[in-house]
Every structure is written in C-alpha cells, then in structure tokens.
Amino acid sequence: MPERIGKYTMRFKNPPSILGYASVVGKKEGEGPLGKLFDLCHNDTSLGETSWEKAESRLQNEAVNIALDKAGLQNTDMDCIFAGDLLNQCISSTFGLRGLDIPFLGQFGACSTMAQTLSLASIFVESGAARKAAAVTSSHFCSAERQFRFPLEYGGQRTPTAQWTATAAGSVIVGTEEPKEGKKITVQAVTIGRISDLGIKDMNNMGAAMAPAAAQTLTDYLHDTGTSPDEYDLILTGDLGLVGSELMEELLEKENIQISSRHNDCGLMLYDREAQDVHAGGSGCGCSASVLCSTILQQMSQGQLHNVLFIATGALMSPTSSQQGESIPGIAHLVYLKA
C-alpha cells in the first residue's frame, strides 16, 4: 500500500514500474525539435477523419495500442485504464477507447491529466487493486479551439501570452514486472495537488494562472519528503510556457527554493517557439503527455536521466466560467520517476 509522508505526498513501498509508453502527434509537433522521438507523427491534422473530435479520439486509441505493443501486452491484460482530455464530457477518451474493452475510469484534470492518470494507475497497481493499469490523455489543437476559442478560419490575433494547444497523445502502461527493454523506470511517489487561484482571469494567459499551483505542489513535495531540488536531475513542469515558467521560478524563490538550473517545461520543449509561431509555448493535455512519453522516458530508459519530478499543470476553467467573469483555478500533480 502507498505510505503517506507529510501531508500531501504518497510514497510507494513497492514502486510500480513503467512497462511501456507511447506518444502520437500531429504535423506541427512532428516538425518540432522532438519530432524524431515520437512513436507516430501524422502528416494530416485531421488524421483522415471527418471531425476533429474523431481525429483526437484516434490519437488516444493509437497511443494506447502502441504502448501496449511496446510492453508486449494486449488489451485483455489490462485491469484498468485512466483516461481524460479537454473536450466536454471527455469524449476523446470515451470514444477513442470504447473498442478496447478495458475497465475505464474517465478523468478530468485539464492539462494536468497525464500526471493525474499516471498517479492513479500507479496507486492502483501498488495497492494491488490492479495488476496492470494504463494512463492516457490527448489534446487536439482544432477540437480545443472550437470549444474554447474561435473557429479555425476566424481572422483574429493571438496575444503574446497565448499558448498553442498540442495535437498529441501520450500513454503509459504501469505494472509490477521488469520492462521488456531498457532500464527499469519506477514511480516512487506522487503528490496530489491542491487547487490554487491567485485571481488570473485571462484565458490567453494560462501559464500565469497555473504557475502558483505548480509552485505550491513542488513546495509541498519537497517539504513532505525533506529533499531539495538538487537531488533531482530534472524538474519537468507541464505546459506553463514562457510566462508561467518564469512566474513559477519567481514564486519558488520567495520560498527560498531555487530550481532554474534543473527546471524545464514541456510547453517550451515541444515546439520551436519562435520559428513555429506558438507565442508563449505549447499547452493541452497532449503536450506534457507526449513530451513525457517520448524524450523523457526514453532518456530515463537509456540511463541519461535518473531522478525526474514530473509536474503536469492544468487550468480548470470552462468557456462558461470565463464568460461569467470567474478567475482561473490552477492544479498541478507531481509524479516522482526514478530509473
């Protein structure tokens, strides 16, 4: 069973291992700096489907199937799958995974979904509630735009703080065995984040809205475990982008925590920010999921990275709450990975 340390952190006595992982991305992401590291890059943003929602569902389905394949497993081997996305009622997950026949628990954590689903899959496996569990999430630029912002062909201008929703999906298979190849990557601990809201209302500045949550969760984890940032090779936040990353580091400095030498952000890694015109960086559930399930887990598996704190961040607003003038609550969950 997981052991609770401090107030907010759970440490695993028998850390579950990552048996397989996969990332599937769209054209723009494939053209980015991590392009060669993804398992599958689609050249057609619609994936040949008749709607953006169907395209996103397929991203998620493919991510799970490739991850299962890489783990040498079949859908019937899985006891549970945790999945979520940004669309209303999480339809990318439910429609994408409906043919898989795996016990399903839908999750909503906005862009923090990868850390949320990975945490739950790990807790289920370690506690014995599942022998093997999967975590998956996705986002699609076009399906997110039409739900949260404007039609694609609308002639508007994006502000410099706006982030680009990634067309991407990532999936991780958690179990107890040794992985088929590479170094064993284990999930050592998780910190479930608290909702944090410092009053940011601008839907085009979600990095600023999420930064306090990321800073809070990391502070909680370091406090609970009595560790310092120097003990980790990489502190990886999920899609804070340029503005959010700067604000998070500034908030942490006020708590006397310095992370800048080992901090990176998935939203800054997925795209070439200037050349690909993504303003403050990438965002969306698929952003942190695809970065984790490509370069990060690959580097860990190859022994280049050993101790990684993965902190995916989410902005928990809806178009309705924003139109009603509400501020944007942020969330961040932390997963400590060790190879």
Which member of 8, 12, 38, 52 binds other proteins (CB under 8 A)? 52
- Who's near 327: CB < 8 A, 6+ residues apart? 197, 198, 199, 200, 201, 209
Angle, CA 91 vertex, CA 242 and CA 168 arms, to 5°: 35
Quick one: which H or E segment has residue 8? none
| 157 touches other proteins by CB under 8 A | yes
Least distance between other proteins and beta carbon 178 (Å):
41
Number of residues that bind other proteins (CB under 8 A): 34
Q: Which residue of 1, 129, 152, 195 would you call a contact of other proteins, by CB under 8 A?
A: 152
For other proteins, the binding residue among 92, 161, 163, 191 (CB under 8 A) is 161
Contact between 69 and other proteins by CB under 8 A: the answer reads: no
Instruction: Pick the piece of the chain touching other proteins (CB under 8 A) from 64-72, 78-86, 93-101, 156-164.
Output: 156-164
Find the distance separating the first CA and the last CA of the chain, reported in whole Å. 21
> Site mask, other proteins, residues 253-292, x = CB under 8 A?
-xx-------------------------------------
Q: Can you tell me which residue has the tokens 């996305």?
A: 85
Any idea what DSSP says for residue 226? T
Q: Taking the complex as a whole, how short is the minimal distance between the CB of residue 235 and other proteins, in angstroms? A: 17
Alpha-carbon span 331 to 313, nearest angstrom: 6
Report d(CA 234, CA 316) in Å as an integer. 26
Residue 63 token pair? 């991510």
251 touching other proteins, by CB under 8 A: yes
Which element (helix H / strand E) includes 218? helix 206-225
Is 246 a residue that touches other proteins (CB under 8 A)?
A: yes
- Minimum CB separation of residue 219 from other proteins in Å reads 8
- Out of 48, 99, 199, 325, the only residue in the binding site for other proteins (CB under 8 A) is 199
Which of 43, 50, 261, 323 forms a contact with other proteins (CB under 8 A)?
A: 50
Rg of the chain's alpha carbons, rounded to an integer? 18
DSSP 34-92: TGGGSSEE-SSTTTT-SSHHHHHHHHHHHHHHHHHHHHT--GGG-SEEEEE-SSGGGHH
Binding segment for other proteins (CB under 8 A), chosen from 4-12, 46-54, 116-124, 176-184, is 46-54
Residue 332 has phi, psi (to 5 degrees) of: -150, 130
Residue 154 engages other proteins in binding (rule: CB under 8 A): yes
Element (H, E) at 269: helix 266-269
Establish if 325 lies at the interface with other proteins (CB under 8 A): no
Q: Is the CB of 22 or the CB of 203 nearer to other proteins? A: 203
d(C-alpha 111, C-alpha 332), whole Å: 9
Residue 246: CB minimum distance to other proteins, A: 5
Region of 1-9, 88-96, 207-215, 311-319 interacting with other proteins (CB under 8 A): 207-215
Which is nearer to other proteins, 85 or 126 (by Cβ)?
85
Residue 51 binding other proteins, by CB under 8 A? yes
Positions in the binding site for other proteins (CB under 8 A): 50-53, 146, 150-161, 196, 198-200, 205, 208, 212, 215-216, 219, 243, 246-247, 250-251, 254-255
